[in-house]
C-alpha cells in the first residue's frame, strides 16, 4: 500500500499564508449539510447577495471542489480568469467577491482523491487575496466525511450554518453532523436553516435546542427558483431571498 506523497497537517508552508489571507475577514460562515441537494449552494449564493444588499462587504467562496456550482447560481462566466497580482484577486460579481476552482477546471470533472482535494483547497485558500470583508460565505461539499469536515479546519472561528430539509430521512443525518461539529472544541454553530419547508418542523427545532444552537428559520419551496438561477437580479425577487434577508436581519448583525 503506497502512502500519499502529500501528508496533510505536516509542515505545509501554505498554512501560515492561509492564516494571513483570512485575517482581514470578520465573519466566516461555512454553509454545511450532511446530505447533498438540500440547497447549500443556493442558500450560500443568495445569502451573499443579501448581506451585500444590507450594506456589508461580502464574499462567496466555493469549496465544493468536486462539484462546484456557485458560479452557475451566481451566473458567472468561468471563461474569465481572476486577475493575478502576487496572488489572485477574487472576481467581483454584482458587488460580491467570488472565488471558485471552476475558473481553473472550466467545469471539467476533477477526479481527485481525498488528500488531493485537500491539496486543491489549500492552494485555493493560499492564493486568494480577499479584501476587508464583513462576511465570507463558504459553499461546502456535503457529507460527514473528512473531506466535508476538513474544509472548516483552516479558519480561526468559523460559524457553520447548517442546512437541512424536513424529510425524516434527513433528521438523523443532520443530528450526526451536529454531533461532529459539537465535538470540535470551541466551535459555535451559527444555527440551522430548514430549506424547502413550508412550515417549521418541531423535530428540527428540538434538534437545534438539543445542540444549544438556533433554529434560524424555514425557507418554503420556491417554484420559480430554477428559472432564475444565474440571474442575480431575479434571485433578489424570490421567496428564498426574502426569507434569508429576514434571517440575516435577525441573526447576522455585525457591530462595528
Ligand atoms: N427553497 C427552495 N425551493 C425550491 N427548490 C429549491 C429550494 N432550495 C433548493 N432548491 C432546489 O434544490 C436543488 C439543490 O439545490 P443546491 O443548492 O444545488 O443544493 P446543494 O448545494 O445542497 O447540493 C436545486 O435544483 C434547487 O433548485
Ligand atoms: Mg452544492
Q: What is the rounded CA–CA span in Å between residue 62 and residue 39?
A: 14
Spacing, Cα 148 to ligand 1 middle (Å): 18
Q: Taking 90 as the threshold, does the pLDDT of residue 247 lie above it?
A: yes
224 lines ligand 1 (CB under 6 A): no
Q: Taking 80 as the threshold, does the pLDDT of residue 6 lie above it?
A: no
Give CA 239 to chain center in angstroms: 20
In this structure, the residue with its CA closest to atom 16 of ligand 1 is 39
Q: What is the pLDDT of residue 219?
A: 97
Q: What's the average model confidence in pLDDT over 183-197? A: 94
Spacing, Cα 252 to ligand 1 middle (Å): 22
Spacing, Cα 27 to ligand 2 middle (Å): 21
- The rounded percent of the chain whose pLDDT value lies above 70 is 95
Q: What is the rounded CA–CA span in Å between residue 75 and residue 171?
A: 32
Which of the listed residues 30, 33, 39, 141 should we mutate to test ligand 1's pocket, taking the one with most ligand atoms within 8 A of CB? Answer: 39
Give CA 185 to chain center in angstroms: 20
**What secondary structure does DSSP assign to 145-201, as a single string?**
SHHHHHGGGGSSS---EEEE-S-HHHHHHHHHHHHHHHHSTT----EEEEES-SS--
Helices (H), ranges, the chain: 14-21, 40-53, 70-74, 102-105, 114-127, 146-150, 168-183, 202-210, 225-228, 232-235, 239-251
In this structure, the residue with its CA closest to atom 25 of ligand 1 is 226
38 lines ligand 1 (CB under 6 A): yes
35 lines ligand 1 (CB under 6 A): no
Q: What is the pLDDT of residue 163?
A: 98
pTM for this prediction: 0.94
Give CA 156 to chain center in angstroms: 15
Report pLDDT digits (tens) over 31-47: 999 999 999 999 999 99
Q: Taking 50 as the threshold, does the pLDDT of residue 9 lie above it?
A: yes
Supply the DSSP symbol for 88: B
CB-based burial of residue 76 (10 Å sphere; 0-12 exposed, 13-18 middle, 19+ buried)?
buried
Cell 483547497 belongs to which residue?
Answer: 121
In this structure, the residue with its CA closest to atom 23 of ligand 1 is 37
Q: What is the pLDDT of residue 189?
A: 96
- Higher pLDDT residue, 11 or 236? 236
Q: Give the pLDDT band of residue 152 (cuts 50, 70, 90).
A: very high
140 lines ligand 1 (CB under 6 A): no
Q: Give the pLDDT band of residue 1 (cuts 50, 70, 90).
A: very low
Q: Give the pLDDT band of residue 75 (cuts 50, 70, 90).
A: very high
Amino acid at each position: 500500500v503506497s502512502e500519499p506523497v502529500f501528508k496533510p497537517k505536516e509542515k505545509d508552508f501554505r498554512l501560515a499564508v492561509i492564516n494571513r489571507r483570512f485575517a482581514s475577514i470578520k465573519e466566516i460562515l461555512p454553509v454545511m449539510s450532511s446530505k447533498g441537494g438540500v440547497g447549500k449552494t443556493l442558500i450560500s449564493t443568495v445569502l451573499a447577495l443579501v448581506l451585500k444588499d444590507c450594506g456589508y462587504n461580502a464574499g462567496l467562496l466555493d469549496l465544493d471542489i468536486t462539484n462546484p456550482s456557485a458560479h452557475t447560481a451566481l451566473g458567472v462566466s468561468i471563461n474569465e480568469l481572476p486577475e493575478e497580482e502576487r496572488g489572485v484577486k477574487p472576481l467581483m460579481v454584482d458587488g460580491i467577491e467570488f472565488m471558485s476552482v471552476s475558473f481553473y477546471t472550466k467545469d471539467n470533472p476533477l477526479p481527485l482523491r481525498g488528500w488531493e482535494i485537500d491539496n486543491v483547497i489549500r492552494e485555493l485558500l493560499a492564493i486568494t487575496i480577499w479584501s476587508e470583508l464583513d462576511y465570507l460565505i463558504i459553499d461546502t461539499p456535503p457529507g460527514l466525511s473528512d473531506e466535508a469536515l476538513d474544509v472548516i479546519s483552516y479558519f480561526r472561528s468559523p460559524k457553520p450554518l447548517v442546512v437541512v430539509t424536513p424529510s425524516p430521512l434527513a433528521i438523523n443525518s443532520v443530528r450526526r453532523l451536529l454531533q461532529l461539529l459539537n465535538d470540535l472544541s470551541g466551535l459555535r454553530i451559527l444555527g440551522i436553516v430548514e430549506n424547502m419547508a413550508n412550515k417549521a418542523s418541531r423535530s428540527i427545532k428540538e434538534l437545534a435546542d438539543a445542540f444549544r444552537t438556533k433554529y434560524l428559520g424555514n425557507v418554503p419551496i420556491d417554484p420559480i427558483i430554477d428559472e432564475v438561477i444565474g440571474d442575480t437580479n431575479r434571485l433578489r425577487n424570490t421567496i428564498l431571498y426574502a426569507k434569508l434577508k429576514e434571517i440575516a436581519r435577525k441573526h447576522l448583525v455585525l457591530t462595528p
